[in-house]
Amino acid sequence: MKCLVVVLDACQPAYLGCYGNDWLVTPTLDELASHSVVFDQHFAPEPTPSAVRWNWLTGRWLLPDAATGRRRFPRLPQLLWEHDIATVLIGDERSPSRNRLPGRGWEAMHWIRQCRVGDLEQESPLGGTVQTAVEWLKTNQGLKNWLVWLELASLRAPWHPSEFDKEALEGHPEADLEPLFDPPLGQVLSKDIVTAEPSEAKSLVERAAATYAGVVYGVDQWLGMLLDQVRELGMYDELLIVITSDVGWPLGQHGVVGDQPAHLHEELIHLPLVVKLPNQEQAGRRVQQLTLAVDLMPTLAEAFGIPVPESVHGFGLLSTARGQPLQRREYICSHSRIENADQWLLRTHEWCLRLSGQTGQLFVKPEDRWEVNDVANLHPEVAEHLELTLRRFAEVLRQDRLDLVPLVRRELLRLAQ
């Protein structure tokens, strides 16, 4: 098995054509999606760069030491190493993985530094990262089994001007906005800004969103160059290709730009997951099952024929990708901690409950994509049941007993619609 994992750090799926964007052109990702299985409901259980990297490597939630007794858990690169599978991590120095993806188990690691991209005859770390990956593929064509883990950090602000492509905005009002490569991050809009004339803060958010779109287009072009080289090497058909992200990147949907503070909204926790199986098997399939970042590790382990460790919280997704109707989850949960206060979210296909302290908000899905209309007062039984389920889930998670995950009352959720 040969596998290429491409992590598009801070990628909000709403900016990709294959996830419904109808104004921003992303031809490479859209074509790849047409050859792949696209998971429409993929989420981050703990939407911080460090937590999601733990999810990827161990297939587990990041639990406090009190729950696990400081146990050491098997990690993906280490498992592959033990089974004589070559692994290489290639990334942009801006990626959080530089400090958060442990080196244990990786056969090689290459970090592309801004100060050295000139040596590679490139203008930015993005070009240098893709070039390094292509060179590794050319050098190691004879290997039968390998994992190339590629980290592209271009979508995480501040953005590099050479990675921005203004052509993405041609024909749209945003084309006239001046790019904002180093936007203010955090809570930049207050709820009372609803004037006809944009305030300064609102203008900054609009410029940031337009710049982000231009960088998405630039990344898509570089990804196209990478896949062109893969085709020239005759590897495309045999490859398992995975495209995903660590977190989304809020761009003002709830007044926030960036991934901090980590409010549990769609724009932060919803992640892309595109899986191209070898020989384009199941091309064009869309999967609506609820999946999590913890599912990546067991999926890759299964792909390489390695037993999935018992400690894993996630589920392998290959059978789901191939159309087997087994439902793994009735709902997913996410957790974050903001200013020493816990926030939780429970998401079914029909509902989304956000819980902060004793305050709960309920939203209808998928109609209310950006979670703006709290309907908890209109559906009190649903809100109460989901809150109870969420609190029980949090308790079994603290005990590291996800085998005891509580069920939801499907009849109640359906009748309330």
Please provide the average confidence, as pLDDT, over all residues in the chain: 91
Tell whether the model's pLDDT for residue 128 goes beyond 80. Answer: yes
pLDDT of residue 100: 65
**What are the tens digits of pLDDT across the range 262-286?**
899 999 999 999 999 999 999 999 9
Task: Kindly state the average pLDDT of the residues 360-375.
Answer: 95
pLDDT of residue 197: 47
Tell whether the model's pLDDT for residue 194 goes beyond 50. Answer: no
pLDDT of residue 195: 41
**What are the tens digits of pLDDT across the range 101-127?**
656 679 999 999 887 887 778 888 999
Report the range of poorest mean pLDDT among 60-64, 217-221, 367-371: 60-64
Structural domains in the chain? 2-321 (3.40.720.10), 332-415 (3.30.1120)
**What are the tens digits of pLDDT across the range 52-93?**
999 999 999 998 655 565 578 999 999 999 999 999 999 998
Tell whether the model's pLDDT for residue 191 goes beyond 60. Answer: no
Percentage of the chain beyond pLDDT 90 is 76
| 3-class secondary structure per residue, the chain | CEEEEEEECCCCHHHCHHHCCCCCCCHHHHHHHHCCEEEEEEECCCCCHHHHHHHHHHCCCCCCHHHHCCCCCCCHHHHHHHCCCEEEEEEECCCCHHHHCCCCCCCEEEEECHHHHHHHCCCCHHHHHHHHHHHHHHHCCCCCCEEEEEEECCCCCCCCHHHCCHHHHCCCHHHHCCCCCCCCCEECCCCCCCCCCCCHHHHHHHHHHHHHHHHHHHHHHHHHHHHHHHHHCCCCCCEEEEEECCCCCCECCCCEECCCCCCCCHHHHEECEEEECHHHCCCCCEEEEEEEHHHHHHHHHHHCCCCCCCCCCCCCCHHHHCCCCCCCCCCEEEEEEECCEEEEEEECCCEEEEEECCEEEEEECCCCCCCCCCCCCCCHHHHHHHHHHHHHHHHHHHCCCHHHCCCCCHHHHHHCC
